[in-house]
Amino acid sequence: MTSPVNTPATNSPAAQADPDDPLVVAAETENAAIFTYGVITAFVAASRRRTVAEYADAHRARRDEIDRTIEAAGNTPPLAAAGYTLPIEVTDPTTAARAALGAEIDCASAYRALLEQADDETGRRIGADGLSESAVRAARWRVALQESPVTVAFPGSPAGG
């Protein structure tokens, strides 16, 4: 799991969102994924850079949607940390793909928790969409890494990855 190096303070007049809220956790996980994709860009093969950019853009769009939802509830969404510690050292295209896979697994876990805990339609939709998208990207990274099986039965679950 990717962990923040530090978290900046905010001067916003809106209430700070509950850090245990599954929407907040999903937003923070998306921030970490965006950071991860930024790091791995320097290490992936040139043929994968477009894919990495596309996936990073997808994570930004999902994070922005979550932030708007948090703001609509009258709260301040979490700000991205200045940096994150990746779970593995990225030194080449293979470790870059493994880091990307790890980010997708982390996002799937956050979205599964959101889906399980959401008490409204918006939260459930964000959870279901995010879980599906992360599971597809994780499967694509497993293909790139030549892992088998490519898909897991229960994405986002502790046993399902």
By C-alpha distance, which of 68, 66, 64, 77 is closest to 16? 77
Query: Under a CB-based contact definition with an 8 Å cutoff, are residues 75 and 17 in contact?
Result: yes
- Parallel, antiparallel or unpaired: strands 75-76 and 15-16: parallel
What is the per-residue pLDDT for 69? Answer: 96
- In this predicted structure, what is the pLDDT of residue 18? 82
pLDDT at 47: 93
Please tell me the predicted confidence (pLDDT) of residue 161: 63
Give the pLDDT confidence score for residue 33 in this predicted structure: 98
Distance CA 6, CA 71 (A): 22
Residue 26 is classified by DSSP as: H
Question: What does pLDDT average to in each consecutive run of 10 residues of the chain (161 residues)?
Answer: 58 66 96 98 95 98 97 94 94 97 97 96 97 98 96 85 63
What is the structure's pLDDT at 4? 73
Query: Residue 42: helix, strand or coil by DSSP?
Result: coil
Tell me the DSSP string of 43-106.
TS-GGGHHHHHHHHHHHHHHHHHHHHHHHHTTEEPPPPPS-EE-SS---SHHHHHHHHHHHHHH
